[in-house]
């Protein structure tokens, strides 16, 4: 995004090429007109104009099970994924997956020879990589198809009846990415900003360096901020009437001398009652698609914190929310996500894609 802004300022104002990006250009103009001349020096406007959406559509149980096959879904749920953001990939073709698999396995073998620590049992294993596409896991037409990568280890002695369990798996995805941004990318660039990897030590870094070498992209850690965790709490609680969340569990860390960790578990029914009482005011024009505002989310959170304070005299605002988990999944502040139920995955992924796009430096 920074690059585009710079190139915008150099083109003349009445050039036709700038028209397409008029919305982002207007951000820059409005910012400059509002502040005096002194602030124009050395300020990077791109950094302040980045916020999460303040209102979101309530999640519906997408019929994802109809679109994506059961086996592919089974690969995605029930594992804890570590999140990173990826900048757009240059010349990544969805048709050349086989050659990418071969290249990646050769790369891993080369790295092993160089002595890079890849901690697998036995040093004589070779690796077989498979790239696959998860079709139909997209929300809008402009999203690139999700790419799923698996690495199996090939022991020298293969027994026929042993099922091949993957040593490492990961996937790149983009769900409902910002349309304007996707269209403003130059051709040859594919945007798959969210990268999820299962933890297996050295293999993740090897895969990342292969991607960086082949497609000229950058990886970076993606944390789930406090606001995003609040959104996930609200969105998951909102799904309670359709599929029970069983309980809403939060883990807070308080900054006291021996560090205090608080696990705050709320019964699903009570969480739903609190949430519906917060939403009550806004169901006036109730239609199918109700949008949830950030104020409702913050008042939900305030209610939970106030209840805790009344009983324990501990204000949770002084601490940090580390983890949120329900029967639908769990999300950790350090950037780990787990889907336990495939029904509401799409909405969660939409939120995470937005976070990844916001954190990306371009």
Partner 1 sequence: MSRGFVYNILFRTGIVLSVYIRMSLLKPFSKLPGLNAANILLVECEEQFQKSLADALVEETAVTVYVRLAKSLPLPKENEESRPRIDLVVFIINLTSELSFQSAEASLKYLDPGYLLGKVCFMVTNARNASVPTERLDAVRKLAAALHCPLLFAEDQTPDGVTYATKRLLSILKVSAGLVPMATALYLSSLTSCTVPPDIDQPSFD
The nearest distance, CB 201 to partner 1, in angstroms, is 23
Q: Which is nearer to partner 1, 45 or 202 (CB)?
A: 45
Nearer to partner 1, 30 or 267 (CB): 30
Of 89, 298, 305, residue with least CA distance to 212:
89
**CB of residue 76 vs partner 1: minimum separation in angstroms?**
24
Contact 179, 142 (CB under 8 A): yes
Residue corresponding to tokens 């696990």: 263
| Closer CB to partner 1, 26 or 69, in the complex | 26
Q: If binding is defined by CB under 8 A, does position 52 make contact with partner 1?
A: yes
* H/E run at residue 251: strand 247-254
For position 74 contacting partner 1 by CB under 8 A, the verdict is: no
Q: Which of residues 286-345 bind partner 1 (CB under 8 A)?
A: 294, 315, 317-320, 333
* Site membership for partner 1, residue 31 (CB under 8 A): yes
53 touching partner 1, by CB under 8 A: yes
329: left (phi over 0), alpha (psi -120 to 50) or beta: left
Residue nearer to partner 1 on the CB measure, 46 or 329: 46
Spatial CB neighbours of 152, under 8 Å, sequence gap ≥ 6: 127, 128, 129, 130, 164, 165, 166, 167
Looking at the Cβ atoms of 33 and 259, the one nearer to partner 1 is: 33
* Interface size with partner 1, residues (CB under 8 A): 32
DSSP 8-state assignment for residue 112: H
Give yes or no for residue 253 binding partner 1 (CB under 8 A). Answer: no
Among the residues of 50-131, which ranges form H helices? Answer: 64-67, 70-76, 97-114
Least separation in angstroms between CB 67 and partner 1: 24
> Is residue 48 within the footprint of partner 1 (CB under 8 A)?
yes
Strands 291-293 and 260-267, how do they pair? Answer: unpaired
What minimum distance in Å lies between the beta carbon of 253 and partner 1? Answer: 11
Question: Quick one: 154 or 183, whose CB is closer to partner 1?
Answer: 183
Helix (H, G, I), strand (E, B) or coil at 285: coil
Q: How many CB atoms lie within 10 A of CB 157?
A: 6
Contact yes or no for 28/73 (Cβ under 8 A)? no
Interaction of residue 9 with partner 1, rule CB under 8 A: no
Q: Where along the sequence are the contacts to partner 1 (CB under 8 A)?
A: 27, 30-31, 33-35, 39, 45, 48-54, 178, 181, 223, 225-227, 255, 294, 315, 317-320, 333, 354, 357-358
């Amino acid at each position: 995004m920074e690059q585009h802004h710079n190139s915008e300022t150099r083109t003349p104002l009445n050039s036709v090429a700038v028209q397409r990006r008029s919305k982002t250009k207007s951000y820059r103009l409005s910012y400059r007109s509002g502040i005096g001349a002194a602030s124009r020096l050395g300020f990077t406007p791109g950094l302040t104009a980045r916020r999460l959406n303040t209102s979101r559509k309530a999640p519906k149980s997408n019929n994802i099970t109809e679109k994506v096959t059961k086996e592919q879904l089974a690969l995605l749920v029930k594992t804890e994924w570590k999140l990173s953001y990826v900048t757009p990939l240059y010349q990544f073709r969805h048709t050349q997956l086989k050659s990418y698999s071969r290249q990646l396995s050769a790369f891993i073998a080369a790295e092993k020879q160089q002595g890079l620590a890849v901690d697998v049992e036995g040093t004589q294993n070779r690796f077989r990589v498979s790239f696959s596409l998860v079709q139909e896991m997209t929300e809008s037409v402009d999203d690139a198809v999700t790419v799923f990568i698996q690495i199996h280890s090939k022991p020298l002695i293969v027994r026929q009846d042993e099922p091949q369990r993957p040593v490492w798996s990961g996937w790149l995805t983009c769900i409902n990415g910002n349309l304007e941004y996707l269209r403003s990318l130059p051709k040859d660039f594919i945007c798959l900003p969210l990268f999820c990897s299962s933890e297996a030590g050295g293999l993740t870094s090897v895969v990342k360096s292969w991607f960086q070498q082949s497609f000229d992209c950058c990886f970076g850690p993606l944390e789930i901020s406090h606001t995003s965790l609040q959104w996930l709490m609200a969105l998951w609680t909102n799904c309670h009437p359709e599929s029970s969340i069983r309980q809403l569990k939060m883990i807070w860390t308080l900054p006291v001398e021996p560090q205090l960790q608080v696990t705050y578990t709320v019964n699903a029914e009570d969480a739903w009652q609190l949430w519906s009482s917060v939403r009550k005011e806004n169901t006036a024009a109730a239609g199918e698609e109700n949008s949830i505002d950030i104020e409702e989310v913050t008042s939900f959170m305030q209610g939970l914190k106030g209840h805790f304070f009344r009983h324990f005299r501990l204000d949770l605002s002084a601490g940090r929310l580390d983890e949120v988990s329900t029967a639908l999944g769990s999300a950790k502040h350090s950037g780990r996500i787990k889907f336990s139920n495939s029904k509401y995955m799409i909405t969660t992924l939409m939120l995470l894609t937005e976070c990844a796009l916001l954190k990306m430096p371009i």
